[in-house]
Amino acid sequence: MFRPFEWQDLLPLLEGAWLTLQLCGVSGILGVIFGLILGIARTSPSRIARWISTIYISCVRGIPILVIIFFVFFGIPLLFPGLEPDKFSSAVIALTCFAAAYVAEIVRGSIEAVAKGQSEAADALGLDYWRKLRYVILPQAVKIMVPPGIGFLIGLVKDSSLVTVTGLLELTHAGNVVTNLTGDPIKTFLIVAAMYFVICYGISWLGRLYEKRTGIHVDPLKVPEPAGL
Amino acid sequence: MALYFGDLLPYSSLLLEGLWTGLYITLVAMLAGSALGVLVYLGKVGPGKPLSVLCTFYIEAIRNTPLLVQLYLIYFALPALGVNLEPVWAAVIGLTLNNAAYTAEIYRAGFESVPRGLREAGKALGMKPAQIVRYIILLPATRNVFPALTNQLILLFLASSIGSIISLPELTNAIMSVSNTTYRTIEVLAVGGLLYLAVSALMSLISKRAETTIFRWAVGTHV
């Protein structure tokens, strides 16, 4: 009942890879936006903002992404009756919630890595908090954020494989479907792995290019080791 | 909808057993993986060119593919070659192989962060090679990698949840089966999430404590 693995089986895998890229693109961008807000709140002078962001970040970082995916996928329709996001939206929501917390830690680390004298100089110049952030701290912090951010993006691509449990046809689930058709898990999942490798290695290559261009290199042990396995 | 946690009570031992399985597998994979990681790291930086290429390929292949796909290859693809594994063994092997690649990179970063001048200073002081390795390379490097290794332990524990997809009876698996029998999905996910959170917070607390007690002599300084 199985048919051999043929070239046409590459097509669903490529479509899955494209969906994985879209998924990570959308949730990566949303994650960076929310992560910036959270990270700034985490270092802000307001105690309430610091508390809320700290609680959110530590909760998300202490719970497996898989549990977050289940929570969003099953929880949202139960908690908000009538609201039933499709598979892609709930995957985006789950990955964004997850990404925001990790990006926030990177943002915090980068803000703290900006030399202290810079902040003091801005204070001495009489800049208020928001101007100090906008013109002094963030422009320098953003450059430091990029290398760990790239590392996190790779983690996001790998973790996006877990939304396979919701039945969304991304790359890993496409691998499952093709395996069921061909009965050839070895070939299928080696190809799936190779596709992930190309995506992730491509992203890390961009990161190395950035490090070479800017000369910014971040000690990998000092960065909050982000992202999943 | 009203939340009701009472339905979960009969299943609390199932959840705790799941937590225990996850912890157990994490610890085994951490020990075996960080030992294997030493070999992979030594192979990578060692003099043998083919071995070095092989180890580099191994590290890159593992670090650039999802753990889930690696588990699928072990759990679904190996039987096609005639090797049948229980989910527990597939998970232990998968997490160990995965962890080895990450710890090898941690060791590399740790050893590279010990400046060359320090070794030369040791030589100038008349230390024997064994003393140099022990006091000037191993000790500072261990201190440098310790936080990264404990971080890795927590990540590995969280990653053990992925084992549930290949039907490893750990916490996430228990959560989903309790959810399927009681229909208390939100409640059991909340309880399970809190269990994960509690254990990972405890791990992080213990490792911070350990850091300050073991490396008391140089807290907060980088070599």
Q: Which residues, in sequence order, are CB contacts of B51 under 8 Å at separation 6+?
A: B43
Bigger pLDDT: B143 vs A99 = A99
Residues from chain B that touch A64, judged by Cβ atoms under 8 A, are 158-159, 161-162, 172, 196
- Above 90 in pLDDT, residue A89? yes
As a whole number, the mean pLDDT across chain B is 88
Check A193 against B77: CB less than 8 A apart: no
Nearest to A66 among B60, B147, B172 (CB): B172
Check A221 against B201: CB less than 8 A apart: no
Q: Are B191 and B8 in contact (CB under 8 A)?
A: yes
Chain B CA closest to residue A185: B77
Check B64 against A201: CB less than 8 A apart: yes
pLDDT at B83: 84
pLDDT at A80: 85
Check B77 against A62: CB less than 8 A apart: no
Check A201 against B81: CB less than 8 A apart: no
| DSSP per residue, B91-104 | HHHHHHHHHHHHHH
User: Is residue A229 domain-resident?
Assistant: no
Residues from chain A that touch B151, judged by Cβ atoms under 8 A, are 224-225
Check B73 against A67: CB less than 8 A apart: no
Give me the sign of the Cα torsion angle B104, B105, B110, B113: positive
DSSP reduced 3-state for A62: coil
pLDDT at A3: 73
Bigger pLDDT: A202 vs B219 = A202
Check A200 against B65: CB less than 8 A apart: yes
Give me A145's structure tokens: 């954020």
Check B155 against A66: CB less than 8 A apart: no
Neighbours of A80 (CB within 10 A): 11
pLDDT at B220: 44
Residues from chain B that touch A83, judged by Cβ atoms under 8 A, are none
Nearest chain B CA: its distance from A180 CA (Å): 11
Check A71 against B193: CB less than 8 A apart: yes
- Above 90 in pLDDT, residue B53? yes
* Burial of A128 per CB tally in 10 Å (0-12, 13-18, 19+): exposed
List the one residue out of A197, A24, A176 whose CA is nearest residue B73.
A176
List the one residue out of A22, A201, A124 whose CA is nearest residue B65.
A201
Residues from chain B that touch A229, judged by Cβ atoms under 8 A, are 67, 98-99, 102, 155-156, 159
- Above 80 in pLDDT, residue A18? yes
pLDDT at B62: 95
pLDDT band per the 50, 70, 90 thresholds, residue A106: very high
A contact test, residue of B63, B105, B144, B167 with most A CBs within 10 A: B63
Where does A43-136 have alpha helices with state H?
A: 47-61, 65-79, 87-113, 116-124, 129-131
Give me B40's structure tokens: 């992979």
How many angstroms separate the CA atoms of B75 and B165, rounded? Answer: 10
Check B201 against A62: CB less than 8 A apart: yes
Mean pLDDT for the stretch of residues A42-49: 92
Nearest chain B CA: its distance from A118 CA (Å): 22
pLDDT at A19: 96
pLDDT band per the 50, 70, 90 thresholds, residue A222: low
Chain A CA closest to residue B78: A186
A contact test, residue of B15, B60, B64, B189 with most A CBs within 10 A: B64
CA distances from B45 to A215, A223, B59, B97 (A): 25, 23, 12, 19
User: Is residue A222 domain-resident?
Assistant: no
pTM: predicted TM-score of the whole model, two decimal places: 0.89
pLDDT in tens, A144-178: 888 889 989 999 999 999 999 999 999 999 999 99
What's the CATH class of domain B11-218? mainly alpha
How many angstroms separate the CA atoms of B96 and B101, rounded? Answer: 9
pLDDT at B212: 82
pLDDT at B6: 77
CB pairs under 8 A between A and B: 145
Residues from chain B that touch A193, judged by Cβ atoms under 8 A, are 61, 65, 69-70, 73
- Above 80 in pLDDT, residue A50? yes
User: In this structure, which long-range contacts are made by residues A85-89, counting pairs with CB atoms below 8 Å and at least 24 apart in sequence?
Assistant: A87/A163, A87/A166, A87/A167, A87/A168, A88/A19, A88/A23, A88/A168
Lowest mean pLDDT, pick from A94-98, B97-101, B203-207? B203-207
pLDDT band per the 50, 70, 90 thresholds, residue A229: very low
How many angstroms separate the CA atoms of B86 and B90, rounded? Answer: 6
- Above 80 in pLDDT, residue A211? yes
Nearest chain B CA: its distance from A42 CA (Å): 19
pLDDT band per the 50, 70, 90 thresholds, residue B218: low
Bigger pLDDT: A117 vs A3 = A117
pLDDT at A219: 58
As a whole number, the mean pLDDT across chain A is 89
Mean pLDDT for the stretch of residues B16-43: 94
Mean pLDDT for the stretch of residues A120-132: 90
ipTM of the modeled complex? 0.89
B contact test, residue of A5, A59, A66, A97 with most B CBs within 10 A: A66
User: Is residue A136 domain-resident?
Assistant: yes
Domain span at residue A72 reads 7-214
How many angstroms separate the CA atoms of B108 and B35, rounded? Answer: 14
Nearest to A59 among B154, B155, B197 (CB): B197
Nearest to A161 among B60, B61, B69 (CB): B69
The structural domain count of chain A equals 1
User: Is residue A203 domain-resident?
Assistant: yes
Check A184 against B80: CB less than 8 A apart: yes
CA triple B76-B79-B85, angle to 5 deg: 85
pLDDT over 70 percentage in chain B: 96
pLDDT band per the 50, 70, 90 thresholds, residue A70: very high
pLDDT band per the 50, 70, 90 thresholds, residue B219: very low
Nearest chain A CA: its distance from B156 CA (Å): 8
Q: What's the CATH code of the domain at A44?
A: 1.10.3720.10
List the one residue out of B53, B112, B90, B217 whose CA is nearest residue B166.
B90
